[in-house]
Amino acid sequence: MKIAGSVALVTGANRGLGRAYTRELISRGAAKVYGAARQPGQVIDPGVIPTALDITDAKRVGEVAAVCADVSLLVNNAGVMKASTFIDAPSLAAARAEMETNYFGTLSMCRSFAPVLAANGGGAVVNMLSVTSFYTNPFNASYGASKAAAWSLTNGVRLELHHQGTLVVAVHAGFIDTDMAALVDAPKVSPESVATMVFDAVEAGQVEVLADERTRTVKASLSHDHELIYPPIQEFWDAAVQGIH
Ligand SMILES: NC(=O)c1ccc[n+]([C@@H]2O[C@H](COP(=O)([O-])OP(=O)(O)OC[C@H]3O[C@@H](n4cnc5c(N)ncnc54)[C@H](OP(=O)(O)O)[C@@H]3O)[C@@H](O)[C@H]2O)c1
């Protein structure tokens, strides 16, 4: 689909990657860009229409789908990462919050906007996933589980919306230079570079974006994950745990 002339809605549009998405959409000539955010007052870029939305509030998701009935491009960007392990986390709170937002929130958006996209000619859905959809790292273990669930959701929604001509794009990335990765000392790609790749993919009809070298390497290694992906993570984690105990 063409971005120019499209009507887009981006979740988590007030900062980070979501803000880069809205700016890129405006620069490519989108006719209208709804910037959905829990704090809509923080959506301040010219041309972006602030829209109050917490994606974990299913009733509000339905209301927004009814009001923004002209959307042809849905960008499910909002997400949380609590840097939580499976075993030593003090409770299930982080795992539940990640699943509520990254999986159920995204699912709720897809369900409410599917008929909107159908009415507007099919359009496209972009789901912001992660390299951790493909493997687990103890550093953000339960986040990875929520992104793996969202990856599965993305593949399923693509199958279910094919009949209405909706393109469903999965975006996987390693570290992106936003607040979420602020404490990470590792190579990061810019949010602007991810936004460029994603809307190039939407315009080309591609179903998947692997946004950086690390993500491409991990996806290519999946058939040998226990030989190629997990040993260095295990070594790193064992050393980190030894440092703590
Ligand atoms: N940064 C990375 O290294 C990285 C790598 C791969 C994938 N991702 C994914 O990229 C997406 C964007 O993350 P980011 O890097 O821009 O992180 P960020 O700077 O932490 O921004 C997260 C955005 O999501 C919003 N959000 C969180 N929960 C929400 C909810 N329930 N309803 C509506 N909005 C909500 C936040 O709103 P508030 O301002 O209200 O909190 C914020 O706008 C996420 O899905 C993330 O998992 C990030």
Distance 76 CA to ligand 1 centre (A): 10
Please write the tens of the pLDDT for every residue from 120-166: 999 999 999 999 999 999 999 999 999 999 999 999 999 999 999 99
Please write the tens of the pLDDT for every residue from 48-67: 999 999 999 999 999 999 99
The set of protein residues with a Cβ atom below 6 angstroms from ligand 1 is 11-12, 14-18, 37-39, 53-56, 77-81, 101, 105, 128, 130, 173, 175-176, 178-181
* Ligand 1 atom nearest to CA at 177: 1
Torsion, CA 27, CA 30, CA 31, CA 33, rounded to 10: -90
* Ligand 1 atom nearest to CA at 102: 45
Taking the chain, what is the end-to-end CA distance rounded to the nearest angstrom?
54
Alpha carbon distance 169, 212 (integer Å): 16
Alpha carbon distance 6, 196 (integer Å): 16
Q: Please state the φ and ψ torsions of residue 176, each to the nearest 5 degrees.
A: -115, 145
The helix or strand, by DSSP H or E, that contains position 73, with its residue range, turns out to be: strand 73-76
**Per-residue tokens: 135:** 């493997």
Rounded to two decimals, the pTM is 0.97
Distance 178 CA to ligand 1 centre (A): 9
Per-residue pLDDT of the chain (245 residues; tens, 9 = 90+): 999 999 999 999 999 999 999 999 999 999 999 999 999 999 999 999 999 999 999 999 999 999 999 999 999 999 999 999 999 999 999 999 999 999 999 999 999 999 999 999 999 999 999 999 999 999 999 999 999 999 999 999 999 999 999 999 999 999 999 999 999 999 999 999 999 999 999 999 999 999 999 999 999 999 999 999 999 999 999 999 888 76
